[in-house]
């Protein structure tokens, strides 16, 4: 275990510093590039905060769906192969729910302000 500050706290602190202290001082193309960098830091912060839990849940869903063990990468590869071979489809129990939850977990990291994502989150609360 690492001492504090955590990687999440560090990336958030850098993003906040750039957003609040540096961004107001920059304009033009440099401001655009700075906003891109801030967005990347925000994305990494969300990945650090959410990915481990969502990956564990995804692995559990895939294990149940496929009846096998493996890493998230191996299980997703196996699922893709079974879909390609026509062995599983949306009529397969649990598949649609798995795909939906995986998509929602990915949007929580990649696009948490996406309007459709926010709408779906508010429906489930």
Q: What is the pLDDT of residue 99?
A: 97
Write the burial class of residue 11 (CB in 10 Å: 0-12 exposed, 13-18 middle, 19+ buried).
buried
| 2 has pLDDT over 70 | no
Question: What average pLDDT does this structure show over 20-44?
Answer: 97
pLDDT for 107: 94
pLDDT band at 52 (very low <50, low <70, confident <90, very high): confident
The rounded distance, in Å, linking the Cα atoms of 60 and 35 is: 36
- Kindly state the average pLDDT of the residues 84-110: 95
- Mean per-residue pLDDT for 11-27? 97
Sign of the alpha-carbon torsion through 13, 14, 20, 21: positive
């Amino acid at each position: 275990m690492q001492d504090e500050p955590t990687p999440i706290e560090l990336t958030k602190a850098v993003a906040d510093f750039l957003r609040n202290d540096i961004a107001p001082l920059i304009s033009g193309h440099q401001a655009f590039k700075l906003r891109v960098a801030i967005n990347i830091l925000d994305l990494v912060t969300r990945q650090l905060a959410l990915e481990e839990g969502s990956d564990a849940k995804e692995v559990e869903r895939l294990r149940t769906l496929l009846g096998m063990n493996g890493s998230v990468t191996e299980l997703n590869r196996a699922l893709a192969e079974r879909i390609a071979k026509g062995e599983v489809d949306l009529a397969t129990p649990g598949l649609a729910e798995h795909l939906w939850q995986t998509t929602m977990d990915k949007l929580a990291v990649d696009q948490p302000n996406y309007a459709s994502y926010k709408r779906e989150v508010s429906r489930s609360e």
